[in-house]
Amino acid sequence: GENVEQHPSTLSVQEGDSAVIKCTYSDSASNYFPWYKQELGKRPQLIIDIRSNVGEKKDQRIAVTLNKTAKHFSLHITETQPEDSAVYFCAAGSGSARQLTFGSGTQLTVLP
Amino acid sequence: DGGITQSPKYLFRKEGQNVTLSCEQNLNHDAMYWYRQDPGQGLRLIYYSQIVNDFQKGDIAEGYSVSREKKESFPLTVTSAQKNPTAFYLCASRLTGGNEKLFFGSGTQLSVL
């Protein structure tokens, strides 16, 4: 089955700096890669996703890049703000059921 | 923020007891999922269902059971065979047919007495 590894497990940045979280996956059949943000005590929410036919996608201050050859994808957050502090999960999925395999999460802390 | 509701928010299980976690959605979503969240381990798939009266095992189905008698409902039973049930359980749903976005419930924290 699919295996997703996520690094780092914790990340602290100064407000205004950029943050990068990286994930690798093992199954070359995976073709859908979402990122979820989970604030403390709240449900995970989708913040951005990318499909395997695209190399990069941006949405305001967040972007995701995908390298299919190397089987890794990354989340980039620019101009970080305190409200970006949360746990971020990457995931990989394929097939019609889209059962996702999640990474272990990254606790991002943005220091004011 | 609504649309998918989990209950109860907190649940305690005695040894040897089966407990059932409720998940209801009014989003008219076809597919529903159950994930288990443990600290530092991300989310792991327990069971999923794409249509009524059909469901498949995920990566960690042992000790759990589900049913999908109605489109709106996908309850999860944690049986006495699950020896380490303490975790945060998340239900999710999505439309099928190319719509990828998963919507999550607010979760149930299950603890063992």
Encode pLDDT of B62-76 as tens digits.
999 999 999 999 999
Mean pLDDT of A23-39: 94
For chain B, the three-class secondary structure string (H helix, E strand, C coil) is CCCEEEECCEEEECCCCCEEEEEEECCCCCEEEEEEECCCCCEEEEEEEEECCEEEECCCCCCEEECCCECCECCEEECCCCCCCCEEEEEEEECCCCCCCCEECCCEEEEEC
Candidates B43, B96, B102; nearest CB to A46:
B102
Contacts of residue B105 in chain A, CB cutoff 8 Å?
Answer: 43
User: In angstroms, rounded to a whole number, what is the distance separating the alpha carbons of residues A79 and B29?
Assistant: 36
Residue B90 has pLDDT above 50, yes or no: yes
Q: Which residues of A touch B31 (CB under 8 A)?
A: 97-98
- In B, minimum Cα distance to A41 occurs at B106
* Interface check A61 vs B, CB under 8 A: no
Chain A residues whose CB is inside 8 A of the B43 CB are 44, 89, 91, 100, 102
B58–A43 C-beta distance less than 8 A: no
Q: Which of residues 17-76 of B touch A (CB under 8 A)?
A: 31, 33, 35, 40-45, 48, 50, 56, 58-59
A1-15, A77-91, B24-38, B87-101: range with lowest mean pLDDT: B87-101
pLDDT tens for residues A13-23? 999 999 999 99
Examine the pLDDT at B1 and tell me if it is beyond 50: no
d(CA B82, CA B75): 16
Q: What are A39-77's pLDDT values in tens digits? A: 988 899 999 999 888 899 999 999 999 999 999 999 999
Name the amino acid, one letter, at B39: P
pLDDT band at A2 (very low <50, low <70, confident <90, very high): confident
A105 at interface of B, judged by CB pairs closer than 8 A = yes
pLDDT tens-digit series, residues B9-33: 999 988 889 999 999 999 999 999 9
